[in-house]
Amino acid sequence: MSQAMNELFNRWGRSSAMSPRNFQYACAGSGILCSIFFLVSFAASGFLPPVKPYWDAERLVKHYRDHEHGIQAGAALLVLSGMFYLPLTAAISAQMRRIPNLHYVVSALQLASGAAGIFTIILPGVILAVTNYRLDRPVEITQALNDLFWITAFLPWPTFMIQNFAFAYAIIIDSRPRPLFPKSIAILNIVVPILYVPSIAMHCVKTGPLAWNGGTTFWMEGVIFCGQLIIDSVCLMRAVYSETEMGEKIVDIFPSSLKDNEQNLEYGGGSAA
């Protein structure tokens, strides 16, 4: 039984469907799935358009009761959306390492901020699930949890800004005749997070474009976030396609002479001087 199982998995591992390139395609395409799940979660919850920040507690709870099953689905979809963000982040980091003269700290910063960013998607889904869980509680508690959901969903954008800026930096310094990513993608990853900045004041207002249901915070930020993810995913797939089937040698970040000196020191073969 064990031998047959091993043979089955070995055969599966040798199949073309399990190639490193196809695995990277799956990771790159997860950004599109992240966007779809994110948008559908708000639609399923009855949050298109969003509930109003100035609603009183009774009116707000009525919305939750009217959309209880949709919000249950929306909370689950939002959590799944965050799950798909991590493979995309890892694939971007792997492709960034193909760019010559790119220091490891750049790809590490992109990977770390993207890993932190998944919680800015998953956590609102968890909070939404808790908000909808006991609608027989005092309405003021549900109102407070609803406030927490919306502010948690749209206020923690700095992780995405750091991630996008690191990605843009890698694209800009790629000075080869045929760079891995188009320079226009660097512009996209610089401009989009800058447009998030006004929403830093969403907790200070209950009406207007900066409120969580406003044109700047909800509509613009939500649309450009998903649009950027889809564009980045498509460009990432093109980068994966340009890679050799069995992968490429990652360019060293240190000059060979420096590495030789380090090896001499390690084995007692002399000093760096």
Tell me the Cα Rg of the chain: 23
12 belongs to a structural domain: no
Does pLDDT of 175 surpass 50? yes
131-160 average pLDDT score: 96
Give the count of beta carbons closer than 10 Å to the beta carbon of residue 138: 11
108 belongs to a structural domain: yes
Note the pLDDT of residue 272.
41
46 belongs to a structural domain: yes
First to last CA, the chain: 61
30 and 84 in contact (C-beta within 8 Å)? Answer: yes
pLDDT band at 11 (very low <50, low <70, confident <90, very high): low
66 belongs to a structural domain: yes
157 and 198 in contact (C-beta within 8 Å)? Answer: no
- What's the rounded Cα separation, in Å, for the pair 135 and 47? 17
Domain holding 206, by residue range, is: 25-243
**pLDDT digit string, tens, across residues 22-78:** 899 999 999 999 999 999 999 999 999 999 999 999 999 999 999 999 999 999 999
Q: Calculate what percentage of the chain has a pLDDT beyond 70.
A: 83
Per the structure, the count of domains in the chain is 1
Note the pLDDT of residue 203.
94
Does pLDDT of 266 surpass 80? no
Q: Is 136 helix (H, G, I), strand (E, B) or coil?
A: coil
269 belongs to a structural domain: no
Q: What is the mean pLDDT of the chain?
A: 87
134-144 average pLDDT score: 96
Instruction: Name residue, tokens 């490891």.
Output: 104
To 5 degrees, how large is the angle CA 163–CA 79–CA 114?
10
Does pLDDT of 249 surpass 80? no
255 belongs to a structural domain: no
72 belongs to a structural domain: yes
Note the pLDDT of residue 21.
84
33 belongs to a structural domain: yes
Note the pLDDT of residue 258.
45
